[in-house]
Amino acid sequence: MHDPAVSFAARLIRWQRQRGRHDLPWQNTRDAYRIWLSEIMLQQTQVATVISYYQRFLERFPDVGTLAAAPVGAVLEHWAGLGYYARARNLHRCAQVVVEKHGGRFPEAPSDLAALPGIGRSTAAAIAAFAFGVRAAILDGNVKRVLARCFGVEGFPGGAAVEKELWRLAESLLPEAQIEAYTQGIMDLGATLCTRANPRCAECPMAEICIAKRDGRQAELPVAKPGKPLPHREASMLVLTDGGHVLLERRPPMGIWGGLLALPEVPLAEADSFAARRGCRLVATHALPAVQHSFSHFRLTIQPLLCRVEPDGSRVEEPGWEWQAVESLDSAALPAPLKRLLLCAF
């Protein structure tokens, strides 16, 4: 085959049939809800991590109507630990829009799917291909890496001009048929063989046509994002406990850990007065080990202080605050680093 597009697609489809992944829990279905859920969960999260979350999520929210009707807090509880929590809030809003504006059925056209909350161009194409057999190109991080290496695309893939070139390339490579196998195949290839580090070129179906392999440039392509050190922030958090409960705050809907429960962020020197404002008397304090956590745009050091308290008789329920039972912390809608901190402390 002399046409590189035909050769690429044919090689990919043949490899996917023989060597690709076929037993993931969201495969072998045309259910747009299940496909959409898996695609959102797989954004910036590894397959191995997603599987158990996906299965538990479906048990609680088996269809789009159930998800749309649920309180957002319940959705966040089942998402806690997956990170990038805007995905969960958009997931909930998307379900509501599908029910309210589309009668509970996901639209088939990629452009209509991309107009829904939390669904971008690439995710819309994946849903359309797997659920409806629509011929549309995807371009996630794995696909960018495969295309950059195989076709020798220079420049950082996140840059506007390079991304535009990659979209043009991705669309030109689409086969006329078997779009599901092709789409799954290019995902599988990037996830299992054409990995960021130590790509398994000897097993790759593109080995004979790959420019990066030919020129020994696997480590150079795709071009890395220009380096920029992440800023560092510090936060003091109080672990107020009466022995059986911990005081938690519901974060605002937007921003870091939006909508989740979190420890109160209070200067350590103000622990006594803070406890008093919550209707408690501070009995003893103990510094816990610092917790390091990296977000996409900054690094955070949390200095937690364990505060043993006793109620002074003036404790009242306040909006946005709740005393969570220690035995239920494992299932609470807490960010992963705070959940680990509390489970170690208790």
Burial class (CB in 10 A: 0-12, 13-18, 19+), 12: buried
Strand partners, 234: 301
Strand partners, 126: none
Two tokens at 263?
A: 């420890």
pLDDT confidence of residue 2: 52
In 3D space, the residue among 108, 53, 115, 109 whose CA is nearest the CA of residue 85 turns out to be 53
**How many C-alpha atoms does 241 have within 13 Å on its Cβ side?**
21
Contact 130, 106 (CB under 8 A): no
**CA distance linking residue 89 with residue 257, whole number of Å:** 11
**CA distance linking residue 306 with residue 225, whole number of Å:** 40
pLDDT confidence of residue 26: 97
Q: Identify the structural domains of the chain with CATH numbers, from first to last.
A: 4-215 (1.10.340.30), 232-345 (3.90.79.10)
pLDDT confidence of residue 25: 97
Ordered DSSP codes for 15-45: HHHHHS----TT-S---HHHHHHHHHHTTTS
Contact 170, 122 (CB under 8 A): no
Q: What is the full per-residue pLDDT of the chain (346 aa) written as tens digits?
A: 456 667 999 999 999 999 999 999 999 999 999 999 999 999 989 999 999 999 999 999 999 999 999 999 999 999 999 999 999 999 999 999 999 999 999 999 999 999 999 999 999 999 999 999 999 999 999 999 999 999 999 999 999 999 999 999 999 999 999 999 999 999 999 999 999 999 999 999 999 999 999 999 999 999 998 888 889 999 999 999 999 999 999 999 888 899 999 999 999 999 999 999 999 999 999 999 999 999 988 999 999 999 999 998 877 778 899 999 999 999 999 999 999 999 999 9
Contact 310, 281 (CB under 8 A): yes
* DSSP secondary structure letter of residue 248: E
Two tokens at 307?
A: 């505060």
Angle at 326 between CA 302 and CA 329, to 5 degrees: 65
pLDDT confidence of residue 1: 42
pLDDT confidence of residue 315: 76
Query: How many of the other CB atoms lie within 10 Å of CB of 203?
Result: 11
Which residues are designated catalytic? Answer: 39
